Amino acid sequence: MVNNSYYSQELHGPYELHDIGNLELEEGGTIRNCNLAYATFGTLNAAKDNAILVPTWYSGTNKIIEQVLIGKGRGLDPDKYFIIVVNQIGNGLSSSPHNTPAPGGMANFPRVRIGDDVRAQHKLLTEKFGLTSLALVVGGSMGAQQTYEWAVRYPDMVKRAAPIAGTARNTVHDFLFTETLVDAITSDPGFNNGFYQSPSDVREGLLRHAKMWAVMGWSTQFFQSGKYKALGFSSLDDFIVNFMYAYFSVMDPNDLLCMAWKWQRGDVSRHTGGDLREALGRIKARTVVMPMSSDMFFPPADCQAEWRLIRDAEFRPIETIDGHLALFGADPNALVQIDKHLTELLATKV
Amino acid sequence: MVNNSYYSQELHGPYELHDIGNLELEEGGTIRNCNLAYATFGTLNAAKDNAILVPTWYSGTNKIIEQVLIGKGRGLDPDKYFIIVVNQIGNGLSSSPHNTPAPGGMANFPRVRIGDDVRAQHKLLTEKFGLTSLALVVGGSMGAQQTYEWAVRYPDMVKRAAPIAGTARNTVHDFLFTETLVDAITSDPGFNNGFYQSPSDVREGLLRHAKMWAVMGWSTQFFQSGKYKALGFSSLDDFIVNFMYAYFSVMDPNDLLCMAWKWQRGDVSRHTGGDLREALGRIKARTVVMPMSSDMFFPPADCQAEWRLIRDAEFRPIETIDGHLALFGADPNALVQIDKHLTELLATKV
């Protein structure tokens, strides 16, 4: 374990922890007493048919989901729905390399797959809340990977699905990009094969990782139009240091690597021997696919290719110059579009 | 100086060296006995009006220009034109950190700007060949930066200009991407502040640099469609190792950094106090702007924004899924398009 005050109730709460017991993983390891951190908004109705699940993206926690997507009058309205945001394994709040006691923590933390997260979440939702139906599963990026996995794995339980800025099967290009992020961290001599004394030993690796996120995460237009200045940063350097570095440098390197490994290998076609068409054909949820128009990770064309394989699905690109990181919510107009699509989806009878 | 057999007549020749004397640089340093390596194709006519200049891109030499762009019946036809390919300073054949004797070599090699290259090339062309007119300047990427610089700096000399996959003023986003490439190399402990004993001391940094080129250099479609397999590689790993690593890992780290610094700061508006419109307004050359349709470095929109500022210019995007690295010539159809546009441009009376 490594002390890290970033992963705290003060910064990310309030959230609850639920111990789902030992989680046996697809890759063969086991997380003992796997804890899922989650936050809920709104009230579950008597029919238990107003529950919405929101899994988290890479580096994200329940807090940013709350800030960006949830609110009165929004698509995810706690006055109408019971919204459960579940932190993915490895994100620092749920069971993660940094908060797991030796010998199972740090670099010994086992390999986790998207499917493991979804099985763990299923256990939480059924055991803790007695849910048998989800009005909607919605998530961005790795949250989209989990959304697709939910819709394919539990087709009768998921009534609606909204994968935003993500794919059901990761692309070769995105796998490669993520590998460069991994390399940025692991190449830091202070990383010490994952057994650093403190995250600050890996500072330079974390900063390189953050800068590479800046390159692929936004878009050329975002920078060319000076959007980073409009967000209150005086220069490119100021933006890199006081936004990108500030955001990532406080995180735990092994936690990020746990998520990165999982992200690289997200693939619903593992259920069907590699047949993506067959896997997506299992989806019964009413689905709206929402890529970000300027996303360099998951360009609309890549999302569109999957959308074509989903029955009765809608393809609704979100127009924005914020690229993949429109997920951060800095483009209010992108949020308006997402809210509109979610509201319409939730109004659809299924 | 560092021995490096990659930069040799065997691999890149035949080329000639021309000593233009001391080159005083915009940033204040001096390259003593600056040597430009160049290769020529075809014959200069009596009127001396059939000369074409082709400057090189990042990591490129005269050899790849010859292989990709020059040939009988091509746009750049040595039967019709006298084609001079000049290796940019820092590329390993012309004066560069690795081939400059101590104390001026290695990390002591001075900062070079695109404008320095263009002044040096001007000296070569006027002194050595007595040229007062260029039928065309054409180049890709950093070659496009030099093409723009030529057209703005020597508007009466440059009759036609064809910047391919590059910009007149580098974008903020591309500056940032290039910085991550620089970081990949300089963060290698073996780099030793630029005073390594052998390029192989920086192997890991060079490999990270190569992988990052793979991410931004091609496109998602290039990978998603399996194009790398069509090029003869059995897997993504095989492609990364035997193409990307093989290509970059033999190069000199300081040479790459010299070019990267220059690339980041390419900007014709240095002539006009930062006014890009005024700078591009100086161009008298008949200009055809050719972005690559899937380029993640210089997306068509960024090139189009500059094209609008050039008098009577044509905007001719090259349709390809090979991204920026369509410059490598692996998409024959991209070459057909470039040839067509160059042929038409050269046929235009000016």
Catalytic residue numbers of B read: 141, 295, 324
Catalytic residue numbers of A read: 141, 295, 324
Query: CB–CB of A236 and B301 under 8 A?
Result: no
- Tokens read off for B22: 């001391």
Q: Which residues pair with A76 in a beta bridge?
A: A70
- C-beta atoms surrounding A189 within 10 Å: 12
Spatial separation of the C-alpha atoms in residues A182 and A255, rounded to whole Å: 11
Phi, psi values for residue A94, rounded to 5° = -75, 175
The set of residues, in sequence order, having a beta carbon less than 8 Å from that of A334 and lying 6+ positions away, is A292, A318, A319, A320, A322, A326
Q: What does each of the 350 residues of chain A score in pLDDT, given as a tens digit?
A: 888 999 999 999 999 999 999 999 999 999 999 999 999 999 999 999 999 999 999 999 999 999 999 999 999 999 999 999 999 999 999 999 999 999 999 999 999 999 999 999 999 999 999 999 999 999 999 999 999 999 999 999 999 999 999 999 999 999 999 999 999 999 999 999 999 999 999 999 999 999 999 999 999 999 999 999 999 999 999 999 999 999 999 999 999 999 999 999 999 999 999 999 999 999 999 999 999 999 999 999 999 999 999 999 999 999 999 999 999 999 999 999 999 999 999 999 99
Shortest Cα–Cα distance, B182 to chain A (Å)? 10
Query: CB–CB of B208 and A187 under 8 A?
Result: yes
Q: Which residues of B touch A215 (CB under 8 A)?
A: 173, 176-177, 180, 216
Query: CB–CB of B220 and A174 under 8 A?
Result: yes
Nearest to A318 by CA among A297, A333, A328: A333
Task: Write down the number of H helices and E strands in chain B.
Answer: 15, 10
- Tokens read off for A26: 């697809």
Among chain B residues, CA nearest to A204: B187
DSSP-based three-state secondary structure for B53:
strand
Q: Which residues pair with A287 in a beta bridge?
A: A161
Q: Which amino acid is at B283?
A: I
Q: Which residues of B touch A240 (CB under 8 A)?
A: 176
B188 close contact with A: CB closer than 8 A: yes
Interface test with B, best of A167, A171, A174, A176 (most B CBs within 10 A): A176
Helix H, strand E, coil C: the string for chain A is CCCCCCCCHHHHCCCEEEECCCEECCCCCEECCCEEEEEEECCCCCCCCCEEEEECCCCCCHHHHHHHHECCCCCECCCCCEEEEECCCCCCCCCCHHHCCCCCCHHHCCCCCHHHHHHHHHHHHHHHHCCCCECEEEEECHHHHHHHHHHHHCCCCECEEEEECCCCECCHHHHHHHHHHHHHHHCCHHHHHHCCCCHHHHHHHHHHHHHHHHHHHCCHHHHHCCHHHHCCCCCHHHHHHHHHHHHHCCCCHHHHHHHHHHHHCCEHHHHHCCCHHHHHHCCCCEEEEECECCCCCCCHHHHHHHHCCCCCCEECCECCCCHHHHHHCCCHHHHHHHHHHHHHHHHCCC
The answer to whether B236 touches A176, Cβ cutoff 8 Å, is yes
A299 close contact with B: CB closer than 8 A: yes
DSSP-based three-state secondary structure for B318:
strand
pLDDT tens digits along B208-249: 999 999 999 999 999 999 999 999 999 999 999 999 999 999
The answer to whether B76 touches B69, Cβ cutoff 8 Å, is yes
Q: Which amino acid is at B76?
A: L
Query: CB–CB of A215 and B180 under 8 A?
Result: yes
Reported ipTM: the value is 0.92
The DSSP H or E segment spanning B65 is: helix B62-69
Residue B34 CB-density burial (10 A; 0-12 exposed, 13-18 middle, 19+ buried): buried
* Nearest-by-Cβ selection for B179 from A187, A211, A221: A211
CB pairs under 8 A between A and B: 86
A331 close contact with B: CB closer than 8 A: no
Query: CB–CB of A204 and B184 under 8 A?
Result: no
Spatial separation of the C-alpha atoms in residues A278 and B58, rounded to whole Å: 44
pTM for this prediction: 0.95
